[in-house]
């Protein structure tokens, strides 16, 4: 896991947390293409000129419905998508297994369980600016982790829905690869027990029961995550993997809401006023895809396929399928030619290109650029340079924060041992 900055065509950055497929236990291939890394927005997304970005100390975008969240994320380019439930569940599973379940803004700007943990509120609400809380609000409780998954605003997740109470998914994290997530999509697939029964979440009698058939009564209810009743059903491991049923031994206070009347989309994590009911496994499956409000936001994610960098153009073309034969760089002995070569080298440094294929690609682009492209580049260079400086400062501060946090923990341990 590491943090990385991606720049779009306008030179604007997204701060992402990068994982290998193995680190998250996610598919290493999507639609037949090898996945090198999954990049998760470090922060709930804000909107700048109608484009979502992962940036700290920004207001999370809210009042966006489910389809709008999907469209906004995909509009960033090939590989970009709304964070899927598979990816959310993978982060939750990692936190649970590593004993780093985060806290968050669950009480109007602070953590209900740790009131000393606070973030920066805005607009007179209990919401906090993205990433303004302590590192305990990150999924691994370090400066490098994914921020604000618990509380603050609910977050749309893709690739999952309830239809009349039946849980349906886009299999194998296909929602991260552009699968059709519309209401009538044929890609929605039920999850079955080992006996071949579909699984319905039926709210009734003050509880939510997992059963192989839908109830005739349409209802809505919420219960603690740990109080989901399997009602004799053989719960498949897939439900636990997707954070739709509590892992064995889990004792959190997360809440789970379901409405079994028609199609219902899914949000995760809870909001700033949910108190103990907001947690990493909290789920809301009780609203239609057209619903939006100030309680619900979203975050984007990005799939980097093997051989693709993802920087600058955000994979506007599918380079996994279109790999041109590499061209040999010509010898540029004139002064303008040498300047172009120097410029290519500096751009590679700003973009953190180190692989030979990456260096060759950007060198060729600079050497073959026409005057119009250079004019556009000249407009972007100041922003790119300023962002690079800001990123270096951010990483330096993050390392200092991590060191300070580690030192603090060590000191406390030593004092406890001494006493």
pLDDT digit string (tens) for 164-204? Answer: 999 999 999 999 999 999 999 999 999 999 899 999 999 99
Statement: residue 369 has pLDDT above 70: yes
Mean pLDDT, to the nearest integer, of 101-115?
97
Q: How many CA atoms lie within 13 A of 193 on its CB side?
A: 15
Mean pLDDT, to the nearest integer, of 204-220?
94
Report residue 222's pLDDT band, with 50, 70 and 90 as the boundaries.
very high
CA–CA distance, 261 with 287 (Å, rounded to integer):
10
CA–CA distance, 416 with 419 (Å, rounded to integer):
5
User: Which residue has better confidence, 380 or 405?
Assistant: 380
Tokens linked to 268: 């995760």
Position 352 scores a pLDDT of: 62
Statement: residue 337 has pLDDT above 80: no
CA–CA distance, 141 with 70 (Å, rounded to integer):
28
Give the percent of the chain with pLDDT over 90: 69
Which residue is it, tokens 């760089």? 329
User: Which residue has better confidence, 356 or 331?
Assistant: 356
Statement: residue 339 has pLDDT above 90: no
Statement: residue 377 has pLDDT above 80: no
Tokens linked to 260: 């079994």
Report residue 415's pLDDT band, with 50, 70 and 90 as the boundaries.
very low
Report residue 413's pLDDT band, with 50, 70 and 90 as the boundaries.
very low
- Select, from the ranges 51-65, 246-260, 306-320, 396-410, the one with the highest average predicted confidence (pLDDT): 51-65
Mean pLDDT, to the nearest integer, of 15-38?
97
Torsion from C-alpha of 93, 182, 178, 240, nearest 10 degrees: 20
Statement: residue 397 has pLDDT above 70: no
Report residue 37's pLDDT band, with 50, 70 and 90 as the boundaries.
very high
Statement: residue 111 has pLDDT above 90: yes
Per the CB < 8 A criterion, the answer to whether 155 and 299 are in contact is yes
Position 384 scores a pLDDT of: 67
Statement: residue 57 has pLDDT above 90: yes
Per the CB < 8 A criterion, the answer to whether 170 and 268 are in contact is no
Report residue 350's pLDDT band, with 50, 70 and 90 as the boundaries.
low
CA–CA distance, 255 with 257 (Å, rounded to integer):
7
Report residue 370's pLDDT band, with 50, 70 and 90 as the boundaries.
confident
Statement: residue 315 has pLDDT above 50: no
pTM across the whole model: 0.75
Tallying the residues shown for the chain, one arrives at 419
User: Which residue has better confidence, 337 or 19?
Assistant: 19
Rounded (5°) CA angle 273-275-299: 65
Position 206 scores a pLDDT of: 93
Report residue 122's pLDDT band, with 50, 70 and 90 as the boundaries.
very high
Average confidence score pLDDT of the chain: 85
Handedness of CA 218, 150, 146, 21 (dihedral sign): negative
Which range has the worst mean pLDDT, 70-84, 131-145, 375-389?
375-389
Helices (H), 77-205: 85-97
Mean pLDDT, to the nearest integer, of 305-316?
56
């Amino acid at each position: 896991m590491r943090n990385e900055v991606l720049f779009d065509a306008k030179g604007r950055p997204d701060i992402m947390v990068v994982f290998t497929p193995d680190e998250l236990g996610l598919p290493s291939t999507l639609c037949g293409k090898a996945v090198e890394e999954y990049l998760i927005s470090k922060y709930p997304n804000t909107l700048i000129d109608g484009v979502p970005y992962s940036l700290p100390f920004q207001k999370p975008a809210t009042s966006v419905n489910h389809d709008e969240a999907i469209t906004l994320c995909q509009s960033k380019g090939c590989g970009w998508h709304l964070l899927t439930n598979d990816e959310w569940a993978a982060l939750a599973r990692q936190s649970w297994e590593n004993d780093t379940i985060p806290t968050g803004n669950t009480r109007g700007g602070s953590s209900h369980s740790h009131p000393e943990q606070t973030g920066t509120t805005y607009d007179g609400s209990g919401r906090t600016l993205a990433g303004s809380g302590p590192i305990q609000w990150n999924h691994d409780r370090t400066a490098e982790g994914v921020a604000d998954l618990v509380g603050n605003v609910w977050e749309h997740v893709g690739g999952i829905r309830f239809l009349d109470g039946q849980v349906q998914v886009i299999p194998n994290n296909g929602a991260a690869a552009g699968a059709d997530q519309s209401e009538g999509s044929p890609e929605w697939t039920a999850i079955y027990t080992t006996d071949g029964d579909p699984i319905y979440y039926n709210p009734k009698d003050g509880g939510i029961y997992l059963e192989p058939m839908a109830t005739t009564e349409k209802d809505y209810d919420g219960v603690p995550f740990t109080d989901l009743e399997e009602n004799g059903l053989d719960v498949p491991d897939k439900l636990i993997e997707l954070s739709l049923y509590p892992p064995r031994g889990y004792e959190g206070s997360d809440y789970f809401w379901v409405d079994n009347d028609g199609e219902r989309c899914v949000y995760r994590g809870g909001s700033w006023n949910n108190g103990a009911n907001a947690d990493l496994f909290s789920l809301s499956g009780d609203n239609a895809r057209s619903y939006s409000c100030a309680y619900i936001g979203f975050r984007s994610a990005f799939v980097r396929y093997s051989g693709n960098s993802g920087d600058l153009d955000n994979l506007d073309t599918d380079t996994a399928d279109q790999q041109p034969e590499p061209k040999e760089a010509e010898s540029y002995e004139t002064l303008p030619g040498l300047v172009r070569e120097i410029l290519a080298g500096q751009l590679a440094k700003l973009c953190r290109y180190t692989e030979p294929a990456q260096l060759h690609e950007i060198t060729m682009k600079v050497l073959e650029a026409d005057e119009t492209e250079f004019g556009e580049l000249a407009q972007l260079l100041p922003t790119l340079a300023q962002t690079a400086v800001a990123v270096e400062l951010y990483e330096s501060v993050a390392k200092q924060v991590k060191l300070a946090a580690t030192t603090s923990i060590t000191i406390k341990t030593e004092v406890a041992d001494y006493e």
